[in-house]
Chain A
Amino acid sequence: AQRVTQPEKLLSVFKGAPVELKCNYSYSGSPELFWYVQYSRQRLQLLLRHISRESIKGFTADLNKGETSFHLKKPFAQEEDSAMYYCALSDRNQFYFGTGTSLTVIP
Chain B
Amino acid sequence: DGGITQSPKYLFRKEGQNVTLSCEQNLNHDAMYWYRQDPGQGLRLIYYSQIVNDFQKGDIAEGYSVSREKKESFPLTVTSAQKNPTAFYLCASSKDSKVYEQYFGPGTRLTVT
Binding site for B on A (CB under 8 A): 6, 9, 32, 34, 43-46, 49, 86, 90, 92-100
Residue pairs across A and B with CB atoms within 8 Å: the count is 50
Residues of B in contact, count (CB < 8 Å): 24
Q: A42's closest neighbor in chain B, by CB?
A: B106
CA distance A6 to B40 in the complex (A): 11
Cβ–Cβ contact A45 & B104, under 8 A: yes
Which of these, A45, A46, A92, A98, contacts B98 with CB under 8 Å? A92
Whether a CB of chain A sits under 8 angstroms from the CB of B75 is no
Asked if A94 contacts B99 (CB within 8 A), the reply is: yes
Q: From residue B32, how far is it (CB to closest CB) to chain A in Å?
A: 11
The A-contacting residues of B in range 29-84, CB under 8 angstroms, are: 33, 35, 40-45, 48, 50, 58
